[in-house]
Amino acid sequence: MARTNDMTTGKVSKTIFSFFLPLLMTNLLQQVYNFSDTAIVGKGLGDSALAAVGNMSSLTFLIIGFSMGMANGFAVIIAQNYGARDIKALRRSFAASIKLAAMIAVVLTAVSLLFLRKIMTAMQTSDSIIEDSLRYGYIIFAGLIATIAYNISAGVLRALGDSKTPFTAIIISSVLNIILDCLFIFVLHTGVEGAAIATVAATCISAGVCIRRIMKIEELSLTRSDFHTDRALYGDLLKNGLPMALMNSITAVGCIVVQYFVNGLGVAYTSAYSACSKYINMFMLPGVTAGYTMSAFAGQNYGANRTDRIREGMRVCVKIALAAYVMLGSLMVFFPRILASFMLNGEDTISLAADFLPICGAMLFAVDLLFVFRSCVQGMGAPMLPMVSGILEMVLRIAVIFAFIGSLGFTATAFAEATAWTGALIVNMSAYFSVMRHSAVRKTSEQRMCEHAYAN
């Protein structure tokens, strides 16, 4: 199989790092683009335009996060089929994933475009930025099919152990994105619409690169029979994909509520929150990447019934997450004003961000470990408890912001993030140890059955 990776054999640490490093570079490039996009918008169009684009981030996560959760859920089934070396099931799962993804793309695009203005109004979006937010959002959501195509194709490739092709795709799309951003904003003066067009165009390119690679993989060569409707298979895919999708969306609802309170404080607070969110997303990257690595690794090894390798892989990924926390959390704690000044212009907004960043930096370990434990549980085909943790994350985020926004002001948003991360981490750690105990019992039972059959 071209450019795939069997993760059920070989030294665990080498297998983990050979997958992790290209994927980290992929995610890093995505965030570098997001950071550059924010800096270009902020410096080129001003803090109000940055607030307008940032105001869309939580809603974008709600819609796109749902599609990402579905794609990751489908990829778990594909990884397990690959780990079990069931090529027929692999092809049928891939074909069914394509059909479901197409239907999801149509529905999400229609819903997001239809209700965007009403949601923006309900979020207390300031009159001074709502039109820019809408112009940006309509273009982003009109191109949702490209985002879903990339999420599905990249998820399939990662499930088969290929983290290099998504890396190549992101290199190409990130460079294109930044070039187009500069062209539209600084040369053509298109405003926030230019940033949105650049994002959609680059996403189309990244999806195309991944799809082109998939078409060259023999084990994914589909025939018409692979697309025959199989309700049981659709049920299995949705049973795994929907909880992961809902977990992302439920988490996003909590973020939207926080955005609602932040918007109520004023445009300066919206700008500061947007900048801080960009830094959190960038600095949690190693934890996120370790989580994606663990999902693919656990999926393949769970399909191959190698729970011993899953346990060893967890130890490696936890160490990665903690090392990243020490390095990147320290930047947020000790250099918040310098970080804030890279994206913000006004002294007031810089000061707000400088108060926010150290709190989240000190607790960054919680979200890093959260991604590792949650992704491992999902990779082993147990998505329900991670979904419950998403509900808890939403409840804690809303409860803290509601209780303390009056007394702590903008700083309450940082405490809301840290509290939500910690609560969700506790649930997913418990889920991991529970699933591992169940898997050990299952493996022992299967071994006894094999020994009994052999004896007879």
| DSSP code per residue over 190-234 | -THHHHHHHHHHHHHHHHHHHHHHHTT-GGG---GGGGS--HHHH
Residue 6 lies inside a defined structural domain of this protein: no
> Is there a domain that residue 65 lies in?
yes
Q: What token pair was written down for 235? A: 């049920």
In a domain, 450, yes or no: no
212 C-beta neighbours (distance < 10 Å), count:
12
Is 126 inside a domain boundary? Answer: yes
**5 within a domain of the structure (yes/no):** no
Domains in the chain, number? 1
Crossing angle (nearest 10°) for helices 164-182 and 144-159: 150
Residue 448 lies in a domain: no
Residue 340 lies in a domain: yes
449 inside domain: no
Q: Which residue has the tokens 């003066």?
A: 189
The one-digit pLDDT tens for each residue of the chain (456 residues) are 445 567 888 899 998 988 888 888 877 777 776 666 666 766 666 666 667 776 677 677 778 888 888 888 888 888 888 877 888 888 898 888 888 889 988 998 998 889 888 888 887 777 777 787 888 888 888 888 998 999 899 888 888 888 788 888 888 888 888 888 788 877 787 777 888 888 899 899 999 999 999 988 888 888 888 888 778 888 888 888 888 788 777 777 777 788 788 878 888 888 888 888 888 888 888 998 899 889 888 888 888 888 889 999 999 999 999 999 999 999 999 998 988 888 777 788 888 888 999 999 999 999 999 999 998 998 887 778 888 888 888 899 889 988 998 888 888 999 999 999 999 999 999 999 988 887 754 554 444 444 444 444
Q: Tell me which residue range forms the domain holding 24.
A: 12-442
Q: Which residues are CB-neighbours of 452 under 8 A, at least 6 positions away? A: none
